[in-house]
Structure 1
Amino acid sequence: MPTGSCLCGAVRFTVAGELAPPDACHCSQCRKQTGHYWASTDVPRAALTVEGADNVTWYQSSEKVHRGFCATCGSVLFWDPPARDSIAIAMGAFDGPTGTQLHMHIFVADKGDYYDIGDGLPQHMA
């Protein structure tokens, strides 16, 4: 089972089952929160177990989405659309190999001007 944590270890998580192929979001909100772009995998809520959930601070970044980060070290961990049955987890928070490969880029119309996307994967404007 894939496991992960924040930088300081106050928040740890386990995912029951295999991870879906991740995507990379280049929207301005993800770039501002992470400092670059957000790469994440969607997992069913029922498959996610979080230890130290009281250390997760939630920020409502839009009417439809909450973003979760560690209150101690600031690690960005979760992108949570409460209306969906899944939650996104930051790829960089996983321990060790994930067995996945990035499969697409989204919101590339908002990407930063300081980098190019040259990996040949599908790019979606929104």
Structure 2
Amino acid sequence: MHKGSCLCGGVRFEVQGELPAPNACHCSMCRKHTGHYEAGTDVPRSAVTITGQDNLTWFRSSEKVKRGFCSICGSSLFFDPPALDWIGIMMGAFDTPTNTKLAYHIFVADKGDYYDITDGLPQNLQ
């Protein structure tokens, strides 16, 4: 089991089972939502338990996706495509150890101009 929370602890979550390898998304929406790029893992909805839902606010960033954050401290926590059977959870919100490593980068064509990606992992332009 893996546990995590927002900065203030107002929203907590648990994930049953191993965490799939995360990816890093450099699209402009993820960068604006997190303040940098987003690193997240996609887990089956059935494996996730969220507590403190009264403190969880959802922002619909597109027709296909909503993003969850703590309404108290503002921590970015979830990337949720409601039509699919998984939910993305931000890696920075997990308590360590996560026992996983970043697998690849996506939307690198949109990455910020203030950093370079030098970790040698695969990079997808979109």
- With structure 1 as the length reference, what TM-score do the two structures score? 0.99
| Corresponding residue SS for 1:17 | coil
CA deviations over 1:77-126 (Å, ceiling 9, x no partner): 00000011000000000011100000000000000011100111000011
Q: CA deviation at 1:18?
A: 0.4
Q: CA deviation at 1:53?
A: 1.2
In the alignment, which residue of structure 2 is the partner of 1:4?
4
Residues in 2 aligned to 1:96 and 1:116: alpha-carbon distance in whole angstroms:
26
| Corresponding residue SS for 1:3 | strand
Residues in 1 aligned to 2:38 and 2:52: alpha-carbon distance in whole angstroms:
23
In the alignment, which residue of structure 1 is the partner of 2:75?
75
In the alignment, which residue of structure 1 is the partner of 2:32?
32
Total equivalences in the alignment = 126
CA deviations over 1:18-62 (Å, ceiling 9, x no partner): 000000000000001111100000000000000111211000000
| Corresponding residue SS for 2:39 | strand
Residues in 2 aligned to 1:18 and 1:101: alpha-carbon distance in whole angstroms:
12
Percent of paired sites with the same residue:
70
Q: Superposition pairs for residues 10-25 of structure 1, below 5 Å?
A: 10-25=10-25
Residues in 2 aligned to 1:102 and 1:46: alpha-carbon distance in whole angstroms:
23
In structure 2, stretches of 5+ residues that fail to align are none
| Structure 1 residue ranges (4+ consecutive) displaced by more than 3 angstroms after TM superposition | none
| Corresponding residue SS for 1:58 | strand
Residues in 2 aligned to 1:74 and 1:35: alpha-carbon distance in whole angstroms:
11
Residues in 2 aligned to 1:9 and 1:113: alpha-carbon distance in whole angstroms:
33
In the alignment, is residue 45 of structure 1 matched against residue 37 of structure 2? no
In the alignment, which residue of structure 1 is the partner of 2:110?
110
In the alignment, which residue of structure 2 is the partner of 1:89?
89
In the alignment, which residue of structure 1 is the partner of 2:123?
123
| Corresponding residue SS for 2:98 | coil
